[in-house]
A and B are shown apart, each in its own frame.
Chain A
Amino acid sequence: MDFASNITIPALFQQTLVGLSRTTILFIVASGLSLILGVLRIPNVAHGSLYMIGAFIMYSVNLFFGGGQAGFWMAVLISPVAVALISLAVERGLFQHLYEREHLMLLLFTFSITLVFGDLVKMVWGSDYRCVDLPASFQGFFTIFGFPFPRYNLFLIIIGPVVAFGLWFLTNKTRIGKIARAAAVDREMVGAIGINVSLVFAAVFVIGCFLAGLGGALVAPTQNIRQGMDHAIIIEAFLIVIMGGLGNIWGALLGALIFGLTDSIGVLVLPQFAIVFPYVVVVIALFFRPKGLLKSTW
């Protein structure tokens, strides 16, 4: 087994960049999950399904617009919106009647939606893998320290802080954001001062799911789009949220950073077991801080 023979500065640097681009995707998905968990108190297992649907829709829209720049950008814009609309339908149709139920019931209910969506995706797109080709300008590599680094990954690394800033602005500087934060702490009080809590919840849910769809759309060009990506991402997203602090967006960022970087640097240390490292870190973090590294809203 190759143990740590690969740790050179250039390799470390490259893997850090790889980890950061992974962080972006993880952060986008986890922040949406954290938002929903923090404000609505719903452990939304279906978040992974929406991520997968986002990826598949991205594939289809991209194909529809003939690929290239037009295809990519249309897909990245339309896909999260489509996912948001789907989630709105689910929220209005089903969830809004269940807010008072116990957490375990909500978790199982969202799991049932995962099951339904899983098969729906299979019905619409079939069981085969899909691939998305990037437009020419995103293809190819930059050379960093003599190592090739995919252009698209750099794009992801830039997008990450943009989304983080957007979320921060939304939750701290806009009216709806402040109301949502208040509702996270005390929903009865918010209702008592005359705000339609139900609408706030719908908005937060939709925004959270939009993020899931965005994550799926952005990840689509980097990997095979397939069944099972919903199950894989959701456990990672949940662990990130739990480690970061329930409902804490910055916690989601911290968790995503830890997850993404331990995985990518772990590749240099023990390539075969790279994916184990993030889990180990989560366990250690939760052992010492069971409620999460940063403050949770619960």
Chain B
Amino acid sequence: MSDSSRSAWKDFVPGLAVFVIFLFVPSFLPRFHVYLLGLIFTTGLLAVSLNLVLGLGGMYQFHHAVFYGIGAYTVALVITKTALSPWIGFLLAPLVSALLSLAIGLICVRLSKLYFGMLQISLGSLVWAVVFRWYSFTGGDDGIHGISVPDIISSTSGAYYFSLVLTGLCLVVMQRIVNSPFGRSFQAVRDNPVRSEAVGINVKRVQLTGMVISGAFAGIAGSMFVVIEGSVFPELMFWTLSLEIIIMCLLGGWFTFLGPMLGAAIIVLLRTFVGIYTEYWTIILGIVLMLLILFLPQGVLGYFLEKFDRGGMKPVREEK
């Protein structure tokens, strides 16, 4: 018993150390960088949540941004349209996203691979179209701005701590899920759905469960976005963002747990710092992505892991 609790501490310590370091960051970094870090945590959580179904589950989740956007809008609408406490909004966000994932999942999951992805894009686009046009409720193409977030988290460092703690908690929970019997079964379903069925696994239900979990965490990331930016807009659930999140997973390495977080960090930092020098940051992203696909198909993290030969499973993603 003491053996396993000792090793539990060992796993825990590096993460805890990193967390503590991040706790002290606002004391010595300029405000803009603190804001940026908060944004990285948010986007990183979103990317890791996608990777739950994309990398672990092998599902073509082509419109993940919808669950992110719905989470953000839930918080925004609770704050601006209801007299309820904003914290109710934060509680509702993952629930609403999970529900939407369930609904979209129930419709899509009977299909596989590309057809699953395509139906999801059409469903997600439908949600976007409704939000885009519903001026009276969602603010339409303008979105909602100047959302008054609770005082305790409205400052830059307040928002930062909020996102840090929430991200840390979510990562711990997600890591737990990845290493759970469900996580292994989800991987098995990715590798061989026919055999999974034959050993008694209800493949559709496993995939649906994965989608709902992933959607819920995307919703949490969405609520974090509202705290950091104070606005929501339909672009949060547009297909371009969905592809960007996939790129983050690819960039960081999608068969590692934290790879997508790294990918998100790279994208956010690139966008910010390239954006300082030129307005043409998109072309840089495009070129980076092109080079990535041409030369580093396993992502940055995957590339380095392979170099040090630590990658236990090197799934061959390139298969027809």
Interface residues of A (CB under 8 A from B): 45, 94, 97-98, 100-105, 107-109, 111-116, 118-120, 122-123, 231, 235, 238-239, 242-243, 272-273, 275-276, 279-280, 282-283, 286-287, 290-291
Bound-state Cα–Cα, A143 to B97, Å:
50
Q: Which DSSP category, helix, strand, loop or mixed, fits chain B's interface?
A: helix
Q: Say whether B122 faces chain A, with CB atoms less than 8 Å apart.
A: yes
Interface size class of B (residues with CB under 8 A): 35 or more
Give the residue of B110, B122, B134 whose beta carbon is less than 8 angstroms from that of A282: B122
11 chain-A/chain-B pairs, Cβ below 8 angstroms: A104-B246, A112-B290, A118-B282, A122-B280, A238-B118, A242-B118, A275-B133, A283-B119, A286-B122, A287-B107, A290-B115
C-alpha spacing A1/B237, complex, angstroms: 26
The interface-forming segment of B124-132, B151-159, B166-174, B225-233 is B124-132
Q: Which positions in B face A, CB cutoff 8 Å?
A: 60, 107, 110-111, 114-115, 118-119, 121-123, 125-126, 129-130, 132-135, 238-240, 243, 246-247, 250, 279-280, 282-283, 285-287, 289-290, 293-294, 297, 317-320
Q: Are A276 and B133 in contact (CB under 8 A)?
A: yes
Known contacts A102-B320, A231-B238; decide if A272 and B135 are in contact (CB<8 Å): yes
Chain B nearest CB, measured from A252 CB (Å): 15
Instruction: Give which listed residue, A103, A113, A239, A275, contacts B286 with CB less than 8 A.
Output: A113
Main SS at interface, chain A: helix
Task: Please indicate the chain A residues that have their CB under 8 angstroms from the CB of B246 in the complex.
Answer: 104, 108
Q: A108-B289, A119-B283, A286-B119 are in contact. Are A231 and B129 (CB under 8 A)?
A: no
- On whether the beta carbons of A273 and B130 are closer than 8 Å, the reply is yes
**A103 lies within 8 A of B283 (CB):** no
User: What are the residues of chain A within 8 A of B294 when measuring CB–CB?
Assistant: 97-98
User: Closest approach, in angstroms, between the C-beta of B298 and any C-beta of chain A?
Assistant: 12
Q: What chain A residues lie within 8 Å of B114 (beta carbons)?
A: 103
Contact of A116 among B132, B286, B317 (CB under 8 A): B286
Q: Could you tell me if B289 and A111 are in contact, using CB atoms closer than 8 angstroms? A: yes
Interchain CA distance A67-B318 in the complex, whole Å: 50
Neighbour of A115 across the interface among B134, B279, B283, CB < 8 A: B283
